[in-house]
Chains A and B, each alone.
Chain A
Amino acid sequence: MNQTRCCSNYTRSQLLREAAAQAGSGLPQIESGMPDPAGTGLTRRRFLAGASGLALAIYGASKLPISLFEEGIANAAQSDRVIVSIFLDGGADAMSLLAPTGHPRYYDLRPNLAIGPDAGTAFTEDPSLRWHPAAAGLSQLHSEGKVTVLPAIGYDSPNQSHFTSRHFWEVGELDTNGTTGWMGRYLDLVGSETNPLQGLSLTGTLSPALATANNPVAAVDGITDYSLWSWVDEPISDEMFRSFKRMGQFTSDSPALKQSRRAISSTNSVRETLESFDEFTSPVEYPDAQLGMQLSGLAALLGAGMPLHCVSVDADGSYDTHSDQATEFESGIKATCDSVLAFQRDLEARGLQDRVLIEMWSEFGRRPEENGSAGTDHGAAGTAFIIGSKASGQMVGEFPGLTNLDEDDNLRHTSDFRSMYCSLLEQWLGQDAGPIIPGAAKLVRPQLVRV
């Protein structure tokens, strides 16, 4: 590849050359009996957003030639509205994010983990709650009216397995057999047959919430130095890579061989394309965090007019805090909220703020009563946030209080995640939720978007 590129400018005409093929056949079943993550079995193919240097893995629409995707991306109308799902992995502690310092039982239930009555900032919509000091970024955006808080979101008969509860949220229904994500079904309904960027996972692998039945979606890898170093000098190395590439192209007699070939083929294509790549620049400074890095790339993609529609990414930190919760939680939430704040400022600087809404969620909240390890066990209701200039900024559902816990001593939910999805679909994406969220007719529609 000797073509020159303008690396700070993501124009669609510069998009992508064919890279190779797939590297996997879906996501694994983690244990026998666990629900398959949505999207399991989808084939994956890869190609590259040349200008951005993003190596894309494409899922679905496996019969279409890669060249159609290039065209599809080039011709897709710039998406009007974008939704970004940020997942807090492990079951984030809602009672730390928004601490119920005004509830007398709080200090009994959380002798070690409670934050002080003056720590952080007050939550103006419910003075009995306070933002955790590490969530200052979110608190700031909330004070600007850009955060809709769902302080106790969940569903009936809460499941306390990480994998099962997360699955429910991903597929948008309480069904362990669901194979498509809630955003995936939306993209199947209104999306394009040829634009894989419409559903983009920033985590390098297919996000189950984006898993479609028909239309293609994509995952993006980070931008890295990608030289395959060896003891073979030019020009002999050209011959070596030619044969390496060929090894990726022969027929396969087993899924593992196919996987190996596709990975070889993709690896070689990424090598060819990323040999010379300059990084993009951001108009604002991002914190030194994984999420910040990914969101800065996302803002750049959006700024370049890439036809993105539904995006999925994981928050920094790991929230399954059974022990020594305080430090782990604090560092993860700080990195996450600071990244989100920087992203919002980035969007504002680029004039994109009215086109993007973030949905931040976790598979469940944690038990109100801390355990003996300065941690908390799996709980039920958790918290979710809708973030962006177009968020309604009005809390949905109240904090249920600590005196009326459920039969497992967990928080009761005062909003349902499926209701949240219905509202996002109808108020933000302009799409009737009926065909997408099972049982949508019976679900309420909280106001999540500014009218």
Chain B
Amino acid sequence: MKAAKKSGRHGVTTYRRKRWVDSGEGIVHKKLKVIRVKGSRKPPVKGAGPRPLPRGQRPQKPWKPQPFGVYKGEFGRIEATRLLNRAGFGPSPGQAEKLARLGMKKAVLSLTRPKGKSSLIGKEPVDQDGLPLAPADAWGHDHLWWLDRMVRTNQPFAERMALVFHDWFATSNASVSQQQQMIDQYWTIKSHVNGSFDEMLLDVTKDPAMLQWLDGGSNNKWSPNENYAREMMELFTLGADRGAYTEDDIREAARALTGWTYDWDDDLGSINFRYEPDDHDDDPKVVFGKRGNWEWQDACRLAVEHKLHPSFFVEKLWSYFVPEPPSKSTKQALISLYVKGGRKIRPVVEAILMHPDFYRGAAMVKPPAVYAASLMRSLKLTITADDWIWLCSSAGQQLFYPPNVAGWDDERWLDTSTVKARWLMVTVALDTIRQDAWDEDKPYGTTENTRQALNRALETFGWPPLRSEHQKELITMSNRIHGRITDEWQESPYRALRQNALLQLIAVSPDMQLS
């Protein structure tokens, strides 16, 4: 940045130059500023100089669930980062600032209703040996394949919604045992995330992976299998112990759901998924007190038309985005939005993403896959190793392998074993980015001071908003490490190790673990 000089009167020279301005909430940008300098004295520094540390994030104030409404407060980098973390997979460098400039509503809509084609940006993922992934065949590559989509997509919202409903209709390849069928189910779910829940439920009901997972494909009039009917009511549409259904409703709905079947081939596994009218129980059934010769579609329809379904739906959906339950008024408004909108999913999500509770309410723990994807996005990395299978699995979330039909248990996402796995994710992610402290051909600089070191590390991650106490602690650590330099030979390697320590701690800090 070149300072422009203006001729001045009375021996005062006016320079226009840029400087860094922290406008609060951690947004730092360059601004033109007029500086007057007396006489011929030159301004000490031309240009903006090194970027100062952003102001740390302050503690959140206690927050009570608000009535239904649209968030009106400040929408800066911190809010935009939360939006990207919860409705996507975290910001890529600079993305939060860009989104913040749109304002809240436009920012939300730019995610939920993106323009243009969806595409994957950057290098195709490869495995340990540099070979392309084989998501249908190689063990764990299904997980890598989806994780890669989370990392590289230009439309993260749909990908995140697919993850939400993968958890909602939790199906595991542990019992399906055909990765292609799991991937097909992913596409089925994803095709409906902007549509209606009715249609998603219908398509999931007859989805081959689901037909095996909850035995819908072995449910016929001679020997009905209740598994799907029960979980559809208990976990997918109505909820247990709310008085929504009885054991008889489950049995009758199971009869309505009869007819789906498939064949087994010793080489190909399960194939030829189809509806066999002969397998269907044609006698009348009574479901939720309604009598009729119900078909499988009716079983789904009766569940979503049940008066206790909308409240179950909105509360469950809300819980994926906001940790505290909604206020009564919010719940009511969301229910009416859902019902009047013909049970469309997206308008309800948009209302949640614009709600004051979303921005000012408490933090949430990022699911392990989201943490992994956001880490790679912030570092502009793509998958180049199989490690991301066991890393995510030990952190508690291997995609396509939820622990049971109730989905992942997010209370178990941070304990001593999963935090260790998250730590190792960072170690693996930093492999190509970290400094080699002992490379004599490319020694690390010997003049970097504490603040410069932290600046450099923050820049590597695209300036994530850190809490102020963490920022201070990192400066303290940097100083302590500086104090360890007592010999000339340590000047370079200790600074390199300091940089690595800063990168490690920024990435494992609660700021990056939470959203």
Binding site for B on A (CB under 8 A): 23-28, 30-35, 46, 55, 57, 160-161, 163-164, 176, 204-205, 221, 224, 226, 228-233, 235-237, 239-240, 242-244, 246-247, 250-251, 253-257, 259-264, 266-267, 270-271, 322-323, 369-373, 375, 377-378, 408
A373 neighbours in B (Cβ, 8 Å): 215, 218-219, 225
Given contacts A33-B240, A254-B362, A375-B225, contact A239 B501 (CB under 8 A): yes
Are B230 and A372 in contact (CB-based, < 8 A)? Answer: no
Closest B residue to A177 using CB positions: B241
Determine the chain A residues whose CB is within 8 A of the CB of B364 once the complex forms: 256
Asked if B242 is an interface residue, CB under 8 A from chain A, the answer is yes
Residues of B that sit less than 8 Å from A by CB: 59-62, 212, 214-215, 218-220, 222-227, 230, 234-235, 239-242, 244, 247, 250-251, 312, 315-316, 323, 362-365, 406, 409-412, 414-420, 423-424, 426-427, 430-431, 434-435, 437, 467, 469-470, 473-474, 476-477, 480-481, 484, 494, 497-498, 500-501, 504-505, 508-510, 513-514
B residues in contact with A176, CB < 8 Å: 241
Given contacts A160-B247, A372-B218, contact A233 B497 (CB under 8 A): yes
CB distance from A95 to the nearest CB of B (A): 16
Q: What residue of chain A has the Cβ atom nearest to residue B229's Cβ?
A: A377
Q: B59 to A251, Cβ gap below 8 A?
A: yes
Cβ contact within 8 Å between A372 and B219: yes
User: Contacts of B514 on A, CB cut-off 8 Å?
Assistant: 256-257, 260
Q: Which residues of B contact A239 (CB under 8 A)?
A: 477, 480-481, 484, 501
Other-chain residue from A55, A244, A255, A378 in contact with B226 (beta carbon distance below 8 A): A378
Choice from A26, A254, A266 contacting B416 with Cβ under 8 Å: A266
Q: Which B residue sits closest to A26, measured CB to CB? A: B411
Measured CB to CB, the closest approach of chain A to B431, in angstroms, equals: 8
Contact A267 B223 (CB under 8 A): no
Among A205, A224, A243, A377, residue most surrounded by chain B Cβ atoms (within 10 Å): A243
Closest to B415 in A: A23
Secondary structure of the A side of the interface?
A: loop
Known contacts A161-B234, A229-B427, A377-B227, A240 near B240 by CB under 8 Å:
no
Q: Let me know if B316 and A32 touch, CB within 8 A.
A: yes
CB proximity of A206 to chain B, nearest CB, Å: 10
Q: Is A55's CB under 8 angstroms from B416's CB?
A: yes
Q: How far is the CA of A375 from the CA of B418 in the complex (A)?
A: 34
Query: Contacts A231-B500, A257-B363 hold; do A46 and B240 have CB atoms under 8 A apart?
Result: no
Instruction: Let me know if A371 and B497 touch, CB within 8 A.
Output: no
Given known pairs A256-B514, A267-B416, the reply for A237 and B501 (CB within 8 Å) is yes
- Asked whether A221 lies within 8 Å of B505 as measured between CB atoms, the reply is no
Are A377 and B416 also in contact (CB < 8 A) when A33-B239, A371-B215 are?
A: no
Which of A163, A229, A255, A408 has a CB less than 8 Å from the CB of B424? A229
With the chains together, A224 CA to B418 CA distance in Å?
13
Query: What 6 additional pairs, Cβ within 8 angstroms, besides A230-B427, A239-B477, A246-B473?
Result: A23-B415, A205-B412, A230-B500, A231-B504, A237-B497, A263-B418
| Pair A322/B501 contact, Cβ less than 8 Å | no
The interface centre, meaning the residue of A224, A239, A246 with most chain B CB atoms within 10 A of its CB, is A239
Can you give 5 A-B contacts (C-beta < 8 A)?
A: A231-B497, A239-B480, A243-B473, A255-B323, A259-B365
A242 contacts B477, CB within 8 Å? yes
> Are B239 and A408 interface neighbours, CB within 8 A?
no
Within 8 Å by CB of B470, from A30, A46, A221, A247, lies: A247
